[in-house]
Every structure is written in structure tokens, then in C-alpha cells.
Amino acid sequence: MKRLFSVLSFLSLAALPLLADHHESHKGNWISWRGPLQTGVSLESYEGYEFNEEPVWTDEIAGRGTPVIFKGRMYTWAYRGEGADLEEVVQAREEATGKVLWERATHDFISDTIYNRYSIGAVAIDTETENVIVATTYGLVTCYTKDGDQVWEHSMMERFGRLTFPNGRAGAPVIDGNIAIIRGVTSYWGADGPARDRFFGFDKKTGELLWSSTPGVGPPFLRDSSMSTPFVETRNGKRVFYAGTGCGNIVCVNVNDGSPLWRYQISKGGVNSSPVVKGDQLICIHGKENLDTTEIGRIFAINLPKDYDNTGGEIDPKQKGAPRITEGVEAWRKTLEMFTSSPTLHDGKVYQIVKTGSLHCLDAESGKGLWELKLSNEQLHASPVYADGKLYVAMYPGEFYVIDVSGDEGKILHKIEVDGNCIGTPSICNGKVYLHTTEKLYCFEIKNTGIKWADAPEDKMPSAGEATSLTAVPTDVLLQAGDSATVKMVKLDANGIPVGEAGDAEWAKFIPPTAKVKAKMDADFKGNTISAGNDAALSAGAWKASADGLTGFARGRVISNLPYKEDFQSFEIGESGFAYPPLPWIGARLKWEVRERDGNKVLAKTLDRVLFQRSLSFIGHPDLTNCTVQADLMTDGSRRVKSVVGLINQRYIVALIGNANLLEVSSNHERVKESVPFRISANKWYTLKTKVDIAEDGSGVIKAKAWETDQAEPDAWTIEVKHATAHKKGAPGLFGFSPQSQKSVFIDNLQIIQN
């Protein structure tokens, strides 16, 4: 039960990279955001050091992240353009010259990202396959080969219910062994319906979901979508990672199967910084109100538990998550305030920038402040990077510092004015320092007569034990009616490490005793192949598998074929006064409910969670294209206060904007948004119909018409919006916006028809 709903597990049988290759991959490379040691520290040292303040080359492309380098290639995550033309871009470059070898661009869709808050983070490089994985601001996770060919892709929003937030924080992917770890706040279905900060483990080669994990508790505080990137290590016989969450916890999760091991509640708001580990202590910082004081912010060290199987923590029976540890946890603390910039750890010292622009050096063992250096008046995301006795520090106003930290206090060697704001953290590789600003990509040179690379500390993978359970790969299946999929059954030991493949399992549909909706997936297994009939109904459910004396769980959804129609009349409304919407609708159970209104059963938006005042729910396959979506819609309220209700078609929201009396087409309000006047009365039914036409050149026209439901459908489209780079596919869905969750919206007679 616990493994099924708080953890859906697996690690593929593909061999892990050899330790020797692991060490060698760090020499002359910078393969992830925090560098080879996950601490912001370079392994390089130089003979005849001289820093050149004039850049070797620049490129006028904006970025807020960190360039990464592997085997002579640099990979950057950037953005360019304005308005509807703005796009996020992954670029592969020659390390030596900065020449672009290839690029892949994507466009924002259905997010509420504002103020060009894009590409905050970094891509991750897999040293085994040389593939590149990027997680965009709006939830596209894509794996490319080193030559730019797409290997696999997931739309986390449409597939797993990922939410977006105006701050645009997404974090960076992490690759460990055969697993690519992605994070985000999601609202999916069933036990994963509540909005929580979650981590997902994907097979790095195939993109199959291996596990999902919900180690924190409660929704993110005040919509704090954490960008804390996991720190990975082997401890207590397990491969684990540590990260901050939007609900104010430091969490520890088993990398192999996603099981939450422990959590430590440190603040009321989100922990966005990435932790570092020194010996038996974890060090991190946050910038929210402390849980046990009224002060804002704290840099702290916590003692890691001695035994991750018996942490002494307690699980909250209502919120679940990982066991919370409270006794003997904190080793030291110091009141410093920083919301996103992460600590850098080297030689027993912690270097931390605070939001007021000062650089602090602390003793890592005791937390004692050693020195402080004022650099600027403010700081945002960027973290310091260390190499050979120097710190390379990018400050938000557009100032780049080189600071000598080899003595008893910091000494500024260079201060360089750069164009744009510095939000991204620098990276260092082969005597070059790379920096992305909101206007340019810079390459600076460390002139030298020779470079040496220190060996990375040994980082052994844990050994496998005796098999104790099974898991299915993928552990979450999505089928269109008429489709089938084959899953692979893998034996796992007690730590989630694979110990071999199992044969065909015996499968039985499974309804958890705690499930509020007793539902089964309209599909059947034959061997390890699951199939849905051509007339299979929209459905979702879980499965229990048995093989070789072991058991495991999987779950899945079936998306029915088009045309799809729902008038809600078959729903039984109980004593609670409502019925839950269809279980397979992503993120729907806590956002919508079926209620009686004027003697008719309709879908109504819930109002009990401000987090869901902006509600999107997807009801079809993410690859659906060329269809018409239609429904009857109504806003609640009065002449002065009305809500917003609409439909989603191919990654566009078409909505009736109640207060403004508009029919609007949007994909992001700062990118694609056009409207026409349309008078809207509260508590009156309107019919909305929309389709998207795509031309051969990739452009498109989003068409919509609206009319009073008791009137005849007009011949002409009410609005037609041209989009030069149109979205070619996307899951249909529903949209409702109730400012401060004050006024509901209502939907009836939903239809999705293939054109």
C-alpha cells in the first residue's frame, strides 16, 4: 500500500556507469548545475594564474541558468524573443569557440509564468549515453542525443498534472545511475490528486516512469514551487537524495525506488536552495519565517540520522509524507536570509550570499561566522563557484566578481560590469568561466601554463541484496482505447535495487481500502501485456502483480476514443451534496465536483483551496490533435464580480472572461493572448466551441465561437487568432479561475469530436 501510493518504484537493469568512468567524467567537464561535487566547487587548479577581464567571446542570447560542458561540447538553456515569439532554447556549442552546433526551441503553453522568468536552472548530461535532458519552465521534459535528436519527451502538465507558477522556478534535472530525477508541484489523480511537491524518477534511456514520490506534507506554502536541486549520495546502504520542498521541509528520498525516508521541517515557507553534505551533516539555507522563531531566514546544519530504516520519525496520519524527525537534528544555525542562492562548500568552509548582497564565510563544523564581504545591494538566484582559492560570484545587478578566499578574509580581485542581470550561476571548465545573464552569454578565460584536476571522492553505489518485491516498468500506464502496452517485471531488494527480471506475473485489479472512488481500469492483462478494447471506457485503476513468490503494484488510465461526451446525468450525488468528477481527469477531484443546479447535474468548480483558484484539468491524451471541443459554460457572481470559465484545446485556453466581458484566447498571458468583446451575464448559460487549424508551415489559427445556449449557433467564428508557431498537439481540458476562490464556474454537455 505504502509502496503503491506514496511511492511507485523501480530502477532499470541497465548497468550503472563504472566508478572509474565516474571519476574520469569530472576531468575537463562540468556536467550539472552544481558541478562535479554537487557543491559548487571545481576540481581544477592552475599554474601561472591570470584572469582576463575581457571576455573571449559573447553571444547575445538571454539566460538565467548555468552552462554545462562535456567532451568538448557546451550545452546552454536560454530564451529569446518577445511576446508570442518568445521561446526557450537548448543549444549545443563547440566548447572552444562557442559556435552553435544545433538548437531546439520550445514555446510556453498554458503557464502563468511572468516577466521572462525562463530557463532558471540547467540541463543535465548523462556521461554514459552523452544524452542531454532538459526540463522547461512549463513542464516539458525532453531527452536529446548529443546531436540533437529527440529520444523521449513528457509533457508533465498534461501527463502528470504539473502546476505552473508566476515565478517560473523549475529546478534542474539530476541523473544518477540509470535514473533521471525531475521535480515539480503536481495534482494528478487518485492518491496523487492533492497538490504536493513531488519527485519523479524516469529511466534515462527510455523515459519510462520508474517511481513518483511525495516526501513532504501539505501543499506548497503560498505557492512556493521549490527549485531546490537534489544532492545525491550513498548512505546507510542506500542511494539517497536530499532536497528542499515548497512545504518547508528538507527531505531524504531513496533514489532507487522513490521511497520517502525522512523529513525535517525547517520553515513555514518553501526551501528553494540546494543542500550540501559534509560528513554526517547537511547544510542548507532558506529565506522564509522559521518554524520555531519569528525570525526570517536561517542557514543551518542538521545531523543526518544514523539509520535510515529507523529514523525515529513519525508519519502524520493525515498528511503522510516521510517520517518527520525532531530529536537531536540541528547541529548549528545562524540567522541569514536567502531565498534561492545555495551554499558553496570547500575545505571546511561554507560560502553563502544573502539577499542584501553580502558574501558570508562560515566554519562548516560550528557555523561560526569567519568573515563578511559586501558586494552589492541585492542578490537573487546565483550561487558562488569555487576554483583554486578563488570564488566566482555573479550578483543580480550585473556585477561579476573574482574573490581571493585563500586567506583569513575575502579580497576582491576583479569586478566586471556585464550586460543584463546575473541570475544564473557561473560554471568553470578547462580554464574558462562561463556566465549567462539576461542579455548575453559570456566566456572568460583563466590564463595559465597548466591545469591539474583533483580526484573526485569515491562514491560507491550500494550492493543489491535478496529480492523482496516486484515493480512494473513503466509503473504508470496510459492507454488510448484500442491500444496495448507491455510492462517489464523487475525484482527489487529491500532498498529498491534491481536484482533481476521476473517472468509473466499474475495480475488482479486492486482497489485500495482507503480509496474514496472505487474504480477499476477498463483494460486486461495477458501475460505482462495490458490491452484496452476499442470501446474501452474512460477509466483508471490499480493492479496487484504476483510472480516468483513476490508482489508489486502498478496503475494506469484509459483514455476513451473520440467522440467523447459527458452530460454528468449518470453521476450519483450522495449525502455530501456532490459527486466526484471522472477519476481519470487529471487534477480534477479536488478542483471540480458534480452538483445539482436548477434541477440539472452539472460540473462546478470547488472554492475551498486558494491554491486551485486557477484550475486546469486535462481529460484527453497529450498527443491529441485536430479536434473540436465544445461545452455549455456559466460564471457565478453578480454584475460586478464574475469568475472565468473556459476550455482547453491543443494547449490553448479559450475562456469567457466574466468581469471584462471578453471572449479570450491565450496560451500564456504575456505571450499569446487576444480577445474580442462578448457580453457575459452571471448565472446564464453560454455555449463555447473551439478548434485549432494548423498549416503546412507550422502556423495556426485558433478559432472560437460563443453564444447564448438557448439561441442558435452562429455561422461565423466569434474570434480567430493567428499564431506563427502554433502548438500542434495537446490534451483537451477544462479551465476555471475564481479570484481568491470566491465565485464558482459551471460546465455541462462537454463534447470532444475529431475533425
Q: Is the pTM of this model over 0.85?
A: yes
Q: Predicted confidence band at 432 (pLDDT cuts at 50, 70, 90)?
A: very high
Could you tell me if residue 459 is inside a domain?
no
Q: Predicted confidence band at 171 (pLDDT cuts at 50, 70, 90)?
A: confident
- Find the CATH number of the domain harbouring 416: 2.130.10.10
Q: Predicted confidence band at 162 (pLDDT cuts at 50, 70, 90)?
A: very high
Rounded to 5 degrees, what angle do the CA atoms 343, 346, 348 make?
A: 100
Do 363 and 492 belong together in one domain?
no
Could you tell me if residue 458 is inside a domain?
no
Query: How far is residue 99 from each of residues 50, 89, 102, 578, measured CA to CA in Å?
Result: 25, 15, 9, 60
Could you tell me if residue 2 is inside a domain?
no
Share of the chain above pLDDT 70, in %: 96
Q: Give 564-590 pLDDT, tens digit per residue.
A: 999 999 999 988 999 999 999 998 988
Do 36 and 161 belong together in one domain?
yes
Domain range enclosing 140:
7-453
Could you tell me if residue 460 is inside a domain?
no
Average pLDDT over residues 688-701: 96
Could you tell me if residue 321 is inside a domain?
yes
Domain finish residue from 534, 559, 584:
559
Residue with cell 546507510: 236
Could you tell me if residue 712 is inside a domain?
yes
Widest pairwise Cα distance in the chain: 84
**Distance separating alpha carbons of residues 125 and 132, to the nearest angstrom:** 5
Do 543 and 574 belong together in one domain?
no
* Weakest mean pLDDT among 162-166, 386-390, 705-709: 162-166
- Find the CATH number of the domain harbouring 540: 2.60.40.10
* Weakest mean pLDDT among 213-227, 365-379, 461-475: 213-227
Q: Give 595-630 pLDDT, tens digit per residue.
A: 999 899 999 999 887 778 888 999 999 999 999 999
Do 621 and 679 belong together in one domain?
yes
Could you tell me if residue 461 is inside a domain?
no
Do 529 and 431 belong together in one domain?
no
The pLDDT of residue 224? 72
Domain count across the chain: 3
The pLDDT of residue 258? 96
Q: Which three cell numbers stand for residue 609?
A: 483551496
Q: What is the mean pLDDT of the chain?
A: 92
Do 447 and 476 belong together in one domain?
no
Do 507 and 627 belong together in one domain?
no
Residue 26 clears pLDDT 80, i.e. is over it: no
Q: Output the CA torsion 333→339→345→351 (10° steps).
A: -80
Domain finish residue from 428, 453, 478:
453
Concatenated DSSP letters of 184-216: EEE--SGGG-S-EEEEEEEETTT--EEEEE--S
Q: Predicted confidence band at 22 (pLDDT cuts at 50, 70, 90)?
A: very low
Do 579 and 650 belong together in one domain?
yes
Could you tell me if residue 30 is inside a domain?
yes
Share of the chain above pLDDT 90, in %: 81
Among residues 137, 188, 187, 192, the alpha carbon closest in space to that of 165 is found at: 137
Do 402 and 517 belong together in one domain?
no
Do 429 and 484 belong together in one domain?
no
Average pLDDT over residues 186-210: 94
The pLDDT of residue 11? 34
Do 539 and 605 belong together in one domain?
no
The pLDDT of residue 18? 32
**Distance separating alpha carbons of residues 716 and 609, to the nearest angstrom:** 38
Q: Give 473-507 pLDDT, tens digit per residue.
A: 999 999 999 999 999 999 999 999 999 999 999 99
Do 568 and 614 belong together in one domain?
yes
The pLDDT of residue 9? 36
Q: Give 290-303 pLDDT, tens digit per residue.
A: 988 889 999 999 99
Is residue 278 within 8 Å of 346, Cβ to Cβ?
A: no
- B/e letters for 275-309, b = 16+ CB within 10 Å, e = fewer, are bbbeeebbbbbbbbbbeeeeebbbbbbbebbeebe
Domain finish residue from 453, 476, 491:
453
Q: Predicted confidence band at 4 (pLDDT cuts at 50, 70, 90)?
A: very low
Residue 394 clears pLDDT 80, i.e. is over it: yes
